[in-house]
C-alpha cells in the first residue's frame, strides 16, 4: 500500500507537469481525488489493515492527499496566471487618439453674462429680481419722475400696446415695484433694499449693427439710511472689477436721467488698453458703460419710501452691450438672430 | 454743439491756464466733450495781408493773372494767380515764400512760364469759411504784410459737446453759459455781457403785439432800420464757421451769433409783413411755406407767429418765406421769445423738421433772457453798423413767469448725500460761482436758483448736491463701502427653476438657447403657412410684421428652425421667453413666461423624436420637482399643430403646456425630409408645482424580484395606469424594456421590480400583484401577449 501511495505521488507529479488546461486539471483531480479516484479507492482499503497499521497508513494517505492537493492548487494558480496573460495579450491596444465628439449645447450669451453679474451681486447681498416685459405707463415713466411730455414717452421711442400698456423701455420700470416689495422690511426691520433686476427692454427704433429694438439691461438699486455718492462710486468700482475680473478704474460724469439726482454717466478704464488709448476706446482711454445716480426723491416717494430719511443709488448696466464687449460680437442683431452658426459657439462660460 | 475757446474767453479771462485741462474738467463736471479737439489755425503759418498793386493777363492762359503784390516789404512780389476776383487795390490773404499750409511749404515756382513767389489764398484755403470762389477779399483797413493771425481770430481751440448731454441744461446752449461753467471750474470771474440800455428807446412807439395762446410764454421785439452793412466782420464769420454755421449776411449772422452766444434764438422779420404781431394756433390745418422754400403742413396744435391773421413764422422753429428780409427791406422787427418747450418739440416731431432754434426751445429756455438778448443784439449791431437806428420801444409781453426757486438745506443733508466732508465755504463759493445766490448761517444754507437754471433744471435739494459735487469733482471723492447690515439672500424659486432648465437642456441634451422677438413676424409666419394668432397689438403700428404680440413662442421658434436647417442634421433649440395670452380681467396683458423647445432631426423618426422630447420634459420635471409628467392627447387648433399628435402636459393635475408634432404642411415648408417636434411649458406654473423632494428609503436587505409582462397595446398609458392603480408598495420601478409590432399588433413589455424591506419576497405575493394588473388590463381589452 505504501508503494501504491508512492506511485500515486510520483504519477501525480509527472502528469501535472504536462497539464496546461483547466479542463485537464479538473479531469486529473477527479481521477486522483474524486469519489472513485485512485486515492479514494486506496482509502477504502484501509479497513483491511491491522489496528496498528491503520493510523500509520492513515497518516501517510493524508500526507499524500495533502501533497496532491497542493500540487493541484499550484497548477491551478499557474493555469490562471497563464490564462490572464493570454487574455491580456489578446486585448488590442485601443485607439483613444480619435478626436473626441464634443457635441454640446449652448447658452445664449446674454444668459452667460447675466449669470456672471448675478453671481457677483449675490455675493454682495443683492436680491435677484425678475420683472414683466409689459408694464404700465406708471411703472415705466410716471413712477420714475419722467414727465408727461418727455421725449422718451413718445410713440416714436416706445412701443405702446392697444390697452395702454407698453413694452418696457428700460429695466428701471421695475424700480417702483421693487421698492414697494421691500419697503416694509426696510422701514420695520432695517433691512437695506439691495436688488438687481435683469430684463429685456424694447425701444422703437430702426435696427442696424449698433441698434436693436429688443435688448437686455440689468438694473440695480440699493436703498438705506445714509447711502451716499461715495458709496455709489465704491460699489460700482468693486462690482465692475468683479464682473470684469480685473481692477477697473471708474470715473463719473454728470448725466441727466429724470429718475436720478445727481445722475451720472459712468466710464470705465478701457478694457483693451487699460487707459492708454486705443481704437476701441477712440483713444480716450475710457469706455462709457452705464448710467447711474442717486435715486431721485420723487422716485423713492412713489415707491413709498421717505426720501428725507432714506437715500439710495441706482444703476443700469447694458447686458447686451456687456455681452458684445466680452465676446467681441460686432453686430448687435446677431444676438436675436436665432442663428446657430453664431450662437452655438457660446457653449459655456470660460470665466 | 461746437464751442470756441476764443468766444468763451470773451467772458472769462483764462490767461495762464491750461486750456486742455479746463476742457477735460468741463467734460467731467458739466457735459461730455467729444474726443476730437480742433486746433484751428495750427496747420498754417506765414499768411500775411497783401495788397494787389497790378494785374496783368497771362499771355498764354485765360484764367491766370500776373500780379504784383505789396506785402509790406521793400519790393513788390510777383505772383501768378488763377482767382477770378483779382483787382488792383484789393487786399487779400497771401502765403508768402516760407509760409506753411498743412504739410506744404510755399516756395518760388514757375507757373505757366512765370515765376510765382507765393500764393493768394481763398478763405477756404486758410480754413475760415467754405468760400473757395475766389481769393479772400479783406475790406478792413489793415497794414500790408501783417500776419493774418494778428488781425483775425484764426487761432482757436474748438471742441464739441454732445447735444444729448445738454438736454437738461438750457443755459448751456450758448457760449455765455459755457463760459460761466469755465469761470467756476477755473475759479475766475464771469464778465457781464455787453448790452445797450434799452430804456433809452422807451419814448418810441411800441410794436403792435399780442399773445393769443398760452403756448407762448414771452414775446419781446424791437424795430430797427437803416442797416447799411451787409457783410459781417471777419471775426464774427470765423466764429460762426468754427461753430458749424456759415456767414450769410449781417442780419442773419447776427441772429445766429446771438443764438450761439446766449442760446436765445432770434428772428428778423421785414416790418412791413408784421404790422400786427399775433401769436396763436389755427383751428384748421393749412400749408405754410418756410424760408427754406418747403411747404409744410400746419395743424391746430402748431403755434404760429402771425401778422394779424396771416401766419408769418412757425413759432420757435422756422420763419416763413414771405416775411423774410429782402432787398428793399428798410425796417426790420427783431423777435426774441420763449415758447412752451413741449409744444415746440411735438411740433418738430409732427413737421419732421428740427432746427437750431427748436433744439434750444425744447430745453425750456430762460424767459428772462429775451430782453438782454435784444440789448446785446443792438449792442453788436451798432458796433458793427453805427448807422443802424432803433425805431421802436422795446415791446415785451410776458404771459407768465416761472416761480422763483429758493432752497434751504443743512450741512447734514449734504454730508449724507455725498458721504464725504465738503466745507461750508466751498459749498457757498461753488454755488455762487455758478450764479446761484447762496448764503449760510453756520450749517444752514439758503440758495436762490438763478432764472436760467430755474425753468425745470434745479428744483430740489438733490439738484444742489449735484451742483456742489460736480464742481468739487467726482475724481476727488474719497470712496467707501456702505455701513448697511448684511442679510441672507434667498434665491427666487422661479429663477432657480429657469437656471436648472437651461442647465439640463444645455448640458444633458446639448440643446441651444436662442432669443427671439415678442411679436409675430407676419411675413415669416406666412412663409411657413402659419396663421397669425389674434392677440393684443402695438398701438398705431405701421409695420404689420411686428404688429401683433405673440401668444406662443412655438411659431417663432419654428421660423428660427427654418433658418438653421443647414446647421446640422440634428439639433434642438430652446428659449425661456415671454408671451401674452390675451388680457386679464383688469385689462392688463396676461404676460406668461414660457419654455419652448423644438427638436429637428434628419436621422430620427418622428415618433422617436417625439418620445425624446417628452423624455426631456419628464427629466426636467423629475429633476426639479421629483414628479412625473402626464401626457394627454388634445385637439389641435393651430395651424402648426399635428392633428393626431398633440398632447397636453400636466403635473399634479395642472396643465403646464403642450407637446406636439409639427403639422406636415408647416413641417414640409421648413424641411421636406426632417422630423420636427415642439413643446411649450409655462414656467411659473411649473415653479408652483410642489417639489416632492428626495425620499430616502433604507435599501432592502432582501433580494429584489423582477418580472416582465408583455401586453398587446398601442400605448403605454393604460398599462401605466393599471400599475399605478395596483397601488402596491412593493413595486419599486417600472420600465418599458421592449416594444414590438407584428401582424397581431403592438406589444409593450414592462419590467416590474419588486422589493420588500422586511422579508424575502415570495413568487406568490409578486404574482398576486401581477395578476391583479393583468386582470385590470383585461377589462380594458388589453391582453397579455400569448
Asked if residue B468 and residue B415 are part of one domain, the reply reads yes
Transcribe B245-305 into DSSP letters: -----HHHHHHHHHHHHHS--EEEEEGGG-SEEEEE--SS-EEEEBTTS-EEEE-TTS-EE
User: How many domains does one find in chain B?
Assistant: 6
Exposed/middle/buried for residue B145 (C-beta within 10 Å: 0-12, 13-18, 19+): middle
Q: State yes or no: pLDDT of B470 exceeds 60.
A: yes
Cβ contacts of B416 on chain A, cutoff 8 Å: 226, 228, 311
Residue B423 contacts residue B235 (beta carbons within 8 Å): no
Q: What's phi and psi for B601, nearest 5 deg?
A: -150, 140
Cβ contacts of B341 on chain A, cutoff 8 Å: 149
Write out residues 138-157 of A within 8 Å (CB-CB) of B: 149, 151, 154-156
Write out the H or E segment, with its range, that includes residue B444: strand B444-448
B417/A229 CB distance under 8 A: yes
CA dist B332 → A104, B388, B542 (Å): 77, 11, 45
Rg (CA), chain B: 42
Quick check: is B695 in a domain? no
* A284 vs B: CB within 8 A: yes
B484/A224 CB distance under 8 A: yes
Domain containing B754 equals 705-779
Q: pLDDT under 50 in chain A at which residues? A: 351
Nearest CA in chain B to A298: B460
Asked if residue B603 and residue B505 are part of one domain, the reply reads yes
For A138-183, the pLDDT digits (tens) are 999 999 999 887 877 776 789 999 999 999 999 999 999 999 999 9
Q: 3-state class of B462 per DSSP?
A: helix
pLDDT band at B77 (very low <50, low <70, confident <90, very high): very high
For B133-192, the pLDDT digits (tens) are 999 999 999 999 999 999 999 999 999 999 888 988 999 999 999 999 999 999 999 999
Quote the pLDDT of residue B179: 98
CA distance B296 to B352: 9
Longest distance between any two alpha carbons in chain B, whole Å: 134
Q: 3-state class of B666 per DSSP?
A: helix
How close does chain B come to A237, measured CA to CA in Å? Answer: 10
Quote the pLDDT of residue A18: 85
Arithmetic mean of pLDDT, B488-502: 92
Quick check: is B741 in a domain? yes
Asked if residue B551 and residue B468 are part of one domain, the reply reads no
Q: What's phi and psi for B178, nearest 5 deg?
A: -65, -40
Quote the pLDDT of residue B219: 97
Cβ contacts of B538 on chain A, cutoff 8 Å: 159-162
Asked if residue B175 and residue B53 are part of one domain, the reply reads no
Asked if residue B522 and residue B609 are part of one domain, the reply reads yes
Domain boundary among B472, B506, B522: B472
CA dist A221 → A288, A294, B370, B707 (Å): 20, 9, 42, 61
Arithmetic mean of pLDDT, B477-500: 90
Arithmetic mean of pLDDT, B548-555: 96
**Whole-number average pLDDT of chain B:** 94
Asked if residue B251 and residue B382 are part of one domain, the reply reads yes
DSSP A284: S
Asked if residue B27 and residue B148 are part of one domain, the reply reads no
Arithmetic mean of pLDDT, B2-11: 98
DSSP B373: H
Residue A127 contacts residue B489 (beta carbons within 8 Å): yes
Cβ contacts of A231 on chain B, cutoff 8 Å: 419, 479-482
* A261 vs B: CB within 8 A: yes
Quote the pLDDT of residue B218: 97
Asked if residue B522 and residue B662 are part of one domain, the reply reads yes
Cβ contacts of B517 on chain A, cutoff 8 Å: 213-214, 336
For B692-703, the pLDDT digits (tens) are 999 898 888 999
Asked if residue B468 and residue B590 are part of one domain, the reply reads no
Quick check: is B1 in a domain? no
Write out the H or E segment, with its range, that includes residue B417: helix B411-418
B512/A214 CB distance under 8 A: no
CA torsion B754-B757-B760-B763 (nearest 10°) is -20
> 10 Å Cβ neighbour count for B376?
24
Quote the pLDDT of residue A350: 56
Q: What's phi and psi for A21, nearest 5 deg?
A: -110, 150
**CA-based torsion, B367, B371, B373, B374: positive or negative:** positive
Write out residues 188-227 of B within 8 Å (CB-CB) of A: none
Asked if residue B532 and residue B449 are part of one domain, the reply reads no
Asked if residue B644 and residue B555 are part of one domain, the reply reads yes
* A234 vs B: CB within 8 A: yes
Quote the pLDDT of residue A349: 60
Domain residue spans of chain A: 2-90, 109-343
Asked if residue B239 and residue B179 are part of one domain, the reply reads no
| Range A321-325 contact pairs with CB under 8 angstroms and sequence separation of 24 or more | A321/A289, A322/A113, A322/A117, A322/A243, A323/A109, A323/A110, A323/A112, A323/A113, A323/A216, A325/A271, A325/A287
In words, the CATH class of domain A109-343 is: alpha beta
A231/B480 CB distance under 8 A: yes
For B341-380, the pLDDT digits (tens) are 999 999 999 999 999 999 999 999 999 999 999 999 999 9
Residue B723 contacts residue B750 (beta carbons within 8 Å): yes
Quote the pLDDT of residue B152: 96
Domain boundary among B398, B414, B434: B398
Whichever domain contains B673, its CATH number is: 3.30.930.10
CA dist B125 → B110, B136, B651 (Å): 21, 9, 80
B506/A107 CB distance under 8 A: yes
CA distance A31 to A12: 10
Residue A230 contacts residue B4 (beta carbons within 8 Å): no
Nearest CA in chain B to A121: B489
CA distance B278 to B282: 12
How close does chain B come to A318, measured CA to CA in Å? Answer: 16
How close does chain B come to A5, measured CA to CA in Å? Answer: 49
Provide the number of CB pairs (under 8 Å) joining chain A to chain B.
223
Whichever domain contains B283, its CATH number is: 3.50.40.10
Quote the pLDDT of residue B700: 87
Arithmetic mean of pLDDT, B644-651: 96
Quick check: is B411 in a domain? yes
Whichever domain contains B92, its CATH number is: 2.40.50.140
Amino acid at each position: 500500500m505504501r508503494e501504491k501511495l508512492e506511485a500515486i505521488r510520483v504519477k501525480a507529479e509527472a502528469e501535472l507537469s504536462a497539464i496546461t488546461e483547466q479542463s485537464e486539471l479538473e479531469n486529473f483531480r477527479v481521477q486522483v481525488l474524486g469519489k472513485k479516484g485512485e486515492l479514494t479507492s486506496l482509502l477504502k482499503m484501509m479497513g483491511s489493515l491491522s489496528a496498528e497499521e491503520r493510523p500509520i497508513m492513515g497518516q501517510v494517505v493524508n500526507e499524500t492527499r495533502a501533497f496532491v492537493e497542493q500540487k493541484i492548487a499550484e497548477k491551478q494558480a499557474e493555469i490562471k496566471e497563464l490564462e490572464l496573460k493570454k487574455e491580456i495579450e489578446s486585448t488590442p491596444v485601443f485607439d483613444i487618439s480619435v478626436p473626441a465628439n464634443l457635441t454640446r449645447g449652448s447658452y445664449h450669451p446674454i444668459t452667460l453674462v447675466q449669470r456672471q453679474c448675478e453671481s457677483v451681486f449675490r455675493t454682495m447681498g443683492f436680491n435677484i429680481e425678475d420683472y414683466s416685459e409689459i408694464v404700465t405707463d406708471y411703472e415705466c415713466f410716471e413712477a420714475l419722475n419722467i414727465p408727461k411730455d418727455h421725449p422718451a414717452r413718445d410713440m416714436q421711442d416706445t412701443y405702446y400696446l392697444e390697452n395702454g400698456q407698453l413694452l418696457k423701455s428700460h429695466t428701471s420700470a421695475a424700480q417702483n415695484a421693487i421698492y414697494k416689495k421691500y419697503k416694509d422690511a426696510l422701514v420695520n426691520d432695517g433691512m437695506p433694499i439691495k436688488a438687481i433686476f435683469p430684463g429685456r427692454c424694447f425701444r422703437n427704433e430702426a435696427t442696424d449693427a449698433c441698434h436693436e429694438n429688443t435688448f437686455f439691461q440689468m438694473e440695480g438699486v440699493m436703498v438705506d439710511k445714509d447711502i451716499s455718492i461715495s458709496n455709489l462710486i465704491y460699489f460700482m468700482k468693486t462690482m465692475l472689477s468683479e464682473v470684469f475680473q480685473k481692477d477697473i478704474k471708474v470715473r463719473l460724469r454728470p448725466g441727466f436721467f429724470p429718475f436720478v439726482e445727481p445722475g451720472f454717466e459712468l466710464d470705465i478704464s478701457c478694457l483693451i488698453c487699460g487707459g492708454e488709448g486705443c481704437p476701441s476706446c477712440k483713444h480716450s482711454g475710457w469706455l462709457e458703460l452705464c448710467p447711474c445716480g442717486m435715486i431721485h426723491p420723487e422716485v423713492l416717494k412713489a415707491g413709498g419710501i421717505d426720501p428725507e430719511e432714506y437715500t439710495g443709488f441706482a444703476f443700469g448696466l447694458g447686458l447686451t452691450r456687456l455681452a458684445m464687449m466680452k465676446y467681441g460680437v460686432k453686430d448687435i442683431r446677431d444676438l436675436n438672430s436665432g442663428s446657430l452658426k453664431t450662437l452655438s459657439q457660446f457653449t459655456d462660460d470660460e470665466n | 454743439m461746437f464751442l470756441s475757446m476764443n468766444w468763451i474767453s470773451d467772458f472769462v479771462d483764462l490767461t495762464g491756464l491750461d486750456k486742455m485741462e479746463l476742457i477735460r474738467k468741463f467734460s467731467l463736471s458739466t457735459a461730455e466733450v467729444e474726443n476730437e479737439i480742433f486746433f484751428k489755425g495750427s496747420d498754417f503759418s506765414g499768411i500775411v495781408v497783401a495788397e494787389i498793386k497790378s494785374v496783368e493777363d497771362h499771355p498764354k492762359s485765360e484764367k491766370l493773372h500776373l500780379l504784383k503784390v505789396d506785402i509790406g516789404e521793400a519790393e513788390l512780389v510777383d505772383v501768378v494767380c488763377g482767382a477770378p476776383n483779382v483787382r488792383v487795390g484789393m487786399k487779400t490773404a497771401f502765403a508768402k515764400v516760407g509760409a506753411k499750409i498743412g504739410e506744404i511749404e510755399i516756395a518760388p515756382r514757375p507757373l505757366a512760364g512765370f515765376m510765382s513767389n507765393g500764393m493768394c489764398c481763398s478763405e477756404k484755403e486758410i480754413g475760415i469759411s467754405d468760400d473757395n470762389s475766389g481769393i479772400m477779399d479783406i475790406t478792413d483797413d489793415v497794414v500790408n504784410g501783417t500776419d493774418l493771425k494778428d488781425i483775425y481770430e484764426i487761432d482757436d481751440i474748438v471742441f464739441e459737446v454732445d447735444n444729448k448731454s445738454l438736454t437738461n441744461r438750457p443755459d448751456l446752449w450758448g457760449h455765455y453759459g459755457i463760459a460761466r461753467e469755465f469761470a467756476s471750474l477755473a475759479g475766475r470771474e464771469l464778465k457781464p455781457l455787453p448790452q445797450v440800455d434799452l430804456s433809452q428807446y422807451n419814448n418810441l412807439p411800441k410794436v403792435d403785439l399780442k399773445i393769443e395762446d398760452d403756448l407762448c410764454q414771452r414775446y419781446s421785439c424791437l424795430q430797427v432800420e437803416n442797416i447799411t452793412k451787409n457783410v459781417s466782420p471777419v471775426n464774427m464769420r470765423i466764429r460762426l464757421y468754427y461753430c458749424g454755421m456759415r456767414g450769410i449776411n449781417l442780419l442773419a449772422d447776427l441772429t445766429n451769433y446771438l443764438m450761439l452766444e446766449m442760446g436765445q434764438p432770434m428772428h428778423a422779420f421785414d416790418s412791413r409783413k408784421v404790422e400786427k404781431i399775433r401769436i396763436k394756433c389755427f383751428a384748421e390745418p393749412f400749408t405754410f411755406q418756410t424760408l427754406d422754400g418747403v411747404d409744410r403742413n400746419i395743424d391746430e396744435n402748431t403755434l404760429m407767429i402771425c401778422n394779424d391773421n396771416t401766419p408769418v413764422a412757425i413759432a420757435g422753429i422756422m420763419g416763413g418765406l414771405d416775411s423774410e428780409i429782402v432787398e428793399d427791406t428798410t425796417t426790420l422787427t427783431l423777435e426774441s421769445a420763449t415758447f412752451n418747450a413741449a409744444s415746440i418739440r411735438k411740433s418738430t416731431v409732427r413737421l419732421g423738421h428740427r432746427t437750431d432754434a427748436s433744439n434750444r426751445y425744447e430745453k425750456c429756455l430762460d424767459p428772462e433772457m429775451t430782453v438782454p438778448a435784444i440789448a446785446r443784439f443792438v449792442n453788436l449791431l451798432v458796433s458793427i453798423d453805427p448807422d443802424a437806428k432803433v425805431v421802436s420801444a422795446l415791446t415785451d409781453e410776458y404771459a407768465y413767469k416761472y416761480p422763483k426757486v429758493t432752497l434751504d438745506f443743512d450741512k447734514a443733508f449734504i454730508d449724507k448725500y455725498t458721504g464725504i466732508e465738503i466745507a461750508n465755504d466751498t459749498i457757498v463759493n461753488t454755488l455762487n460761482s455758478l450764479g446761484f445766490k447762496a448764503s449760510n448761517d453756520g450749517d444752514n444754507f439758503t440758495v436762490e436758483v438763478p432764472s436760467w437754471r430755474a425753468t425745470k433744471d434745479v428744483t430740489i435739494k438733490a439738484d444742489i448736491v449735484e451742483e456742489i459735487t460736480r464742481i468739487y469733482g467726482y475724481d476727488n471723492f474719497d470712496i467707501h463701502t456702505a455701513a448697511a447690515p448684511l442679510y441672507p439672500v434667498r434665491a427666487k424659486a422661479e429663477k432657480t427653476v429657469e437656471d436648472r432648465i437651461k442647465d439640463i437642456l444645455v448640458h444633458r441634451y446639448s440643446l441651444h438657447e436662442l432669443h427671439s422677438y415678442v411679436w409675430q413676424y407676419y411675413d415669416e409666419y406666412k412663409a411657413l403657412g402659419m396663421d397669425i394668432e389674434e392677440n393684443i397689438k402695438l398701438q398705431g403700428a405701421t409695420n404689420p410684421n411686428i404688429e401683433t404680440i405673440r401668444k406662443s413662442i412655438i411659431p417663432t421658434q419654428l421660423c428660427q428652425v427654418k433658418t438653421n436647417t443647414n446647421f446640422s442634421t440634428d439639433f434642438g433649440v430652446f428659449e425661456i421667453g415671454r408671451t401674452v395670452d390675451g388680457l386679464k380681467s383688469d385689462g392688463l396683458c396676461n404676460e406668461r413666461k414660457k419654455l419652448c423647445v423644438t427638436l429637428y432631426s434628419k436621422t430620427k423618426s418622428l415618433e422617436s423624436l417625439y418620445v425624446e422630447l417628452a423624455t426631456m420634459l419628464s427629466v426636467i420635471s423629475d429633476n426639479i420637482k421629483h414628479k412625473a409628467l402626464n401626457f394627454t392627447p388634445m385637439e389641435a387648433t393651430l395651424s402648426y399643430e399635428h392633428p393626431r399628435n398633440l398632447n397636453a402636459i400636466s403635473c399634479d393635475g395642472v396643465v403646464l403646456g403642450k407637446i406636439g408634432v409639427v403639422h406636415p404642411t408647416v413641417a414640409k415648408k421648413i424641411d421636406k425630409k426632417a422630423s420636427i417636434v415642439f413643446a411649450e411649458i409655462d414656467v411659473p406654473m411649473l415653479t408652483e408645482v410642489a417639489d416632492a423632494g428626495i425620499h430616502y428609503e433604507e435599501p432592502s436587505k432582501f433580494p429584489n424580484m423582477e418580472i416582465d409582462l408583455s401586453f398587446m397595446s398601442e400605448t403605454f398609458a393604460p398599462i401605466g395606469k393599471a400599475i399605478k392603480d395596483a397601488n402596491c408598495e412593493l413595486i419599486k420601478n417600472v420600465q418599458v424594456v421592449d416594444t414590438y409590432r407584428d401582424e397581431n399588433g403592438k406589444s409593450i413589455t414592462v419590467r416590474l421590480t419588486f422589493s420588500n424591506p422586511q422579508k424575502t419576497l415570495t413568487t406568490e405575493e409578486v404574482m398576486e400583484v401581477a395578476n391583479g394588473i393583468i386582470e385590470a388590463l383585461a377589462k380594458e381589452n388589453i391582453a397579455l401577449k400569448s
